[in-house]
Amino acid sequence: MTDSRPDGSPDPALVFFCESRVMIDLRRRRPCRLDRAQAGELLNQARASVRLEDASGRLLEAVAIERFRPRQRIPDADFEPLRGIAAELDSESWQLLARSHSLLEWQRAHRYCGSCGHPTEALDGGHRRRCSNRDCGRLDFPRTDPAVIMRITHEDRLLLGRQPTWPEQRRSVLAGFVHPGESAEEAVVREVHEESGIQVDPASLSWFGSQHWPFPGSLMLAFTARAQGGEPHPRDGELARVDWWTRTELKAALEADRIALPGQRSVARTLIDEWIKGDGLHDNGLTQGRNNR
């Protein structure tokens, strides 16, 4: 198994995706980079691909296959959920895989023209799609959906919620998509009120940082803000539970494994961890460079 294409070779290294899973080298716990001979029959199952450059300028082709047939197994390799292995990956690998996954998912969702319904075809190494209907010719470009994620506090308490589909112990800060016609700041105030009934003090809103989130393609815009008080309760069905937690309660629940927080790679986790630490920066959001965490 190669780690990169041979120097001088015009062929990009191949990284395979199957739905939200990526093929990893089980011994090294890193994404497999295969050449065409190693990939073999897997290439026959390709439904989409996209070409990218890694941070060293090496060409890479991310390939999405329909399904993984065990008889075509690559030695010491298997598909594992990208979300599940995120915390194991170095920053560069994570960013490359996250970008690949978003682009492949965008391709999957844009196989047909949104104007006339004809099939589309990939151009520019998978970074554009064009309608095959000559009378239309509509071009589609990869999109990213803005979403807000916010750490809402009131005195020494943090607002955490659980979505109905999550395991019983899982909690996170509140989040939601920005609606057409509103600013990110307006989305924070609206989402918190819709999901929990809590009113945010708009004057307390502070920028925290942003993060691309590839499930399937969101730009998470993170804020901190203070609430005007009150007791939270689920209002719009987005949350099954929503509660205030003091630092003492949260630390005790973590030590006793009574609560599960988002993965280390997420800005949600950074927002929560920094509040638990109480490092003095957390309430005014005067922080930079968190988007690579």
Which parts of this chain interact with Zn ion (CB under 5 A)?
113, 115-116, 118, 131, 133, 136, 138
State which residue, 71 or 134, has the beta carbon closest to Zn ion: 134
Give CA–CA dist 58/115, Å, rounded: 36
Residues whose CB is less than 8 angstroms from the CB of residue 269 and which lie 6 or more positions away in sequence, other chains included: 261, 262, 263
State which residue, 138 or 170, has the beta carbon closest to Zn ion: 138
Q: Which of 22, 38, 39 is nearest to 30 (CA)?
A: 22
Grouping H, G, I as helix, E, B as strand and the rest as coil, residue 153 is: strand
Q: Could you tell me the smallest distance in angstroms from the CB atom of residue 131 to Zn ion?
A: 3
State which residue, 128 or 193, has the beta carbon closest to Zn ion: 128
State which residue, 139 or 252, has the beta carbon closest to Zn ion: 139
Give CA–CA dist 269/146, Å, rounded: 19
Give CA–CA dist 52/44, Å, rounded: 21
Q: Could you tell me the smallest distance in angstroms from the CB atom of residue 133 to Zn ion?
A: 5
Q: Could you tell me the smallest distance in angstroms from the CB atom of residue 115 to Zn ion?
A: 4
Q: Could you tell me the smallest distance in angstroms from the CB atom of residue 147 to Zn ion?
A: 29
CB-count exposure of residue 203 (10 Å: 0-12, 13-18, 19+)? exposed
Please give the backbone phi and psi of residue 118, each rounded to the nearest 5 degrees, phi first.
-75, 160
State which residue, 141 or 177, has the beta carbon closest to Zn ion: 141
Q: Could you tell me the smallest distance in angstroms from the CB atom of residue 134 to Zn ion?
A: 9
